[in-house]
């Protein structure tokens, strides 16, 4: 297997970086923010968990030419029908990529930023057996589940910001409550600045991840 592969599977253009021979038995599912692509979070993934396999899809929805993982009707107002469709498609992609790249024995941990964090949270709530954990940088509540999923002991790190101009602290608290009610083990890191990522966010995620 080559060290790095690019391609399209299940409708997702993506990049895959194979694990190092002695690397951790963990695959990081890298989910970019609005306007990003499959290359954006590769350096972050390599920094967070050196030697791990990296699976980085590009969002299939375009907003003014910028890739996203699902449509929105306005700032913070999500198209819930499209969110469900794209969440299911992303879960299908991850399952197919796991078979294609031989990741059956690997834990899959989502690393999502902004829009990527929102769809990662949606995957947790609708496909609770798919992910072994998640680091959600600047997430919102994607939707409020009518049926509580079983996320017993699934670890989740919420990396929020005290002065985020997009995500209010109330959203972080509500998402934490939803995930905790589902049984997840939720930790929260508060960045002192705004929506952009800080080095403290990276350090917190690196410490949280199993090395």
Residue 195 a catalytic site member? yes
Catalytic residue among 10, 37, 187, 195: 195
pTM: 0.94
As a whole number of angstroms, the distance between CA 140 and CA 148 comes to: 18
Note whether 77 and 133 are within 8 A (CB): no
Q: Quick one: average pLDDT of 19-26? A: 92
Domain boundaries, the chain: 4-208
User: 3-class DSSP state for residue 188?
Assistant: strand
Q: Does the active-site annotation cover 189?
A: no
Q: Is 164 a catalytic residue?
A: yes
- Identify the pLDDT of residue 169: 93
State residue 47 phi and psi, 5-degree precision.
Answer: -75, -40
d(CA 129, CA 126) in angstroms, rounded, equals 9
Q: Quick one: which of 132, 139, 123, 69 has its CA closest to 105?
A: 132
Distance, in Å, from the CA atom of 75 to the CA atom of 53, rounded to the nearest integer, reads 33
Provide the pLDDT for residue 97.
94
Considering the candidates 106, 114, 122, 176, report the single residue annotated as catalytic.
114
Instruction: Indicate whether 6 pLDDT > 50.
Output: yes
Q: Per-residue pLDDT tens for 124-180? A: 999 999 999 999 999 999 999 999 999 999 999 999 999 999 999 999 999 999 999
The one catalytic residue in 164, 176, 189, 201 is: 164
CATH class of the domain at 4-208: alpha beta
pLDDT of residue 3: 52
Mean pLDDT of 176-202: 97
Count the neighbouring beta carbons within 10 Å of the beta carbon of residue 128. 17
Residue pair 150/183 in contact (Cβ under 8 Å)? The answer is yes
pLDDT at 1 over 50: no
Spatial distance between the Cα atoms of 127 and 100, rounded to a whole number of angstroms: 20
The answer to whether 70 and 83 have CB atoms below 8 angstroms apart is yes
Q: Which helix or strand (DSSP H or E) is residue 177 part of? A: helix 169-181
Reading the block at residue 187, the tokens are 């930790």
| C-beta separation of 136 from 117 below 8 A | yes
Q: What is the pLDDT of residue 104?
A: 84
Backbone angles phi, psi at 130, to 5 degrees: -80, -40
């Amino acid at each position: 297997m080559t060290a790095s592969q690019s391609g399209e599977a299940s409708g997702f253009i993506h990049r895959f970086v194979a694990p190092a021979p002695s690397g951790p038995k963990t695959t990081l599912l890298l989910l970019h923010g609005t306007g990003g692509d499959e290359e954006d979070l590769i350096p972050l993934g390599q920094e967070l968990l050196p030697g791990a396999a990296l699976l980085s899809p590009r969002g299939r929805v375009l907003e003014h030419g910028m890739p996203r993982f699902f449509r929105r009707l306005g700032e913070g107002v999500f198209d819930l029908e499209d969110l469900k469709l794209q969440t299911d498609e992303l879960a299908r992609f991850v399952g197919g990529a796991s078979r294609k790249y031989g990741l059956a024995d690997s834990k899959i941990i989502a690393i999502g930023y902004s829009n990527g964090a929102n769809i990662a949270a949606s995957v947790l709530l609708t496909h609770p057996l798919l992910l072994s954990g998640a680091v959600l940088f600047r997430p919102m509540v994607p939707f409020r589940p009518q049926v509580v999923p079983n996320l017993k002991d699934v670890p989740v790190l919420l990396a929020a910001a005290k002065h985020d101009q997009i995500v209010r602290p109330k959203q972080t608290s509500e998402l934490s409550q939803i995930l905790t009610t589902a049984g997840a083990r939720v930790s929260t890191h508060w960045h002192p600045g705004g929506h952009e990522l800080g080095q403290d966010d990276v350090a917190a995620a690196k410490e949280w991840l199993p090395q």
